[in-house]
Structure 1
């Protein structure tokens, strides 16, 4: 597990006064800046993030030290990270999406199905996007107790009992 968790990404400038358009990856999207300062991936830049208002598919935000459209434009594509220790501990049956990405997925018989490429949510439940070698497309596995009975972060694997037709 990484010692940092990606909380969002800067999609570009928003307006002419240094505001940015950010996509939030936190459970409460408007709270991405509430845990403390966020950094770029290597930690060389730090920003206090103030979410201003929701906008289409993102949020308008103000970052400390960013005062012009040109400064905001330079940050386009930058991911924003938070130290893991700043996040609250989760109950045993809840997981940060960042911790699931990259885990190996095996079926209940021990056969390797692939690796988690991303975690998506389109409203109903989380869905694991699994890259399986030899497949032309990724598999989408519902992240439910029935389809994913075991997540073992220490061992770096997920045991899945996928519904018929997923793999």
Structure 2
């Protein structure tokens, strides 16, 4: 990303749509059409500014018109362009909500404070968020459902979150029986 780690991925341009320069957009914003509300976006390298001038939502895709793009060929040239915005351009998250970009890199600690690893990614394959932690002991990455039970505490300012691995949840439930 051109060395700027303060960028947040908001979406990705897909295939050209029609003959007049429109493109399909995969939006990662809560409401897909809101991607146009963030103002000028940047490509991954930070070398190109992309301004969405109009969006329309169809049953199959979000269709966008990009400022300055008027032909199918120009639209095709943008295919697979990732769309980023500066982190400080995003509104503050509501209480008990976080931007994924703010979670990446946090230290994951056990409930007793022992370091478990570093948050590498947050995934969602359709059934809910999964937190991926690169383990401090060098073992394989840990994938844990992101819930109040498994992540009971997040402290962005302190740079850490408490992670209760599933085996500890099962052990405590077995002990409660």
Residue 117, structure 1, aligned to residue 120, structure 2: yes
Q: Deviations over 1:100-122 (max 9, x none)?
A: 22333222234443333332335
TM-score by length of 1: 0.79
Per-residue deviation, 1:64: 0.9
Give the paired residue count: 163
Per-residue deviation, 1:2: 4.1
Extract unaligned runs of 5+ from structure 1: none
Between the aligned partners of 1:55 and 1:105, the Cα distance in structure 2 is 40
**For the pair shown, which has the larger CA radius of gyration, 1 or 2?**
2
Between the aligned partners of 1:43 and 1:164, the Cα distance in structure 2 is 42
Residues 86 and 157 (structure 1), Cα distance of their counterparts in 2 relative to 1, 3 Å cut: same
Extract unaligned runs of 5+ from structure 2: 170-177
Structure 1 counterpart of 2:103 = 100
Q: Where do residues 4-23 of structure 1 align in structure 2 (5 Å cutoff)?
A: 4-23=7-26
Q: CA RMSD in A?
A: 2.7
Q: Deviations over 1:69-100 (max 9, x none)?
A: 22122222221112223321123421011222
TM-score by length of 2: 0.75
Higher helix share: 2
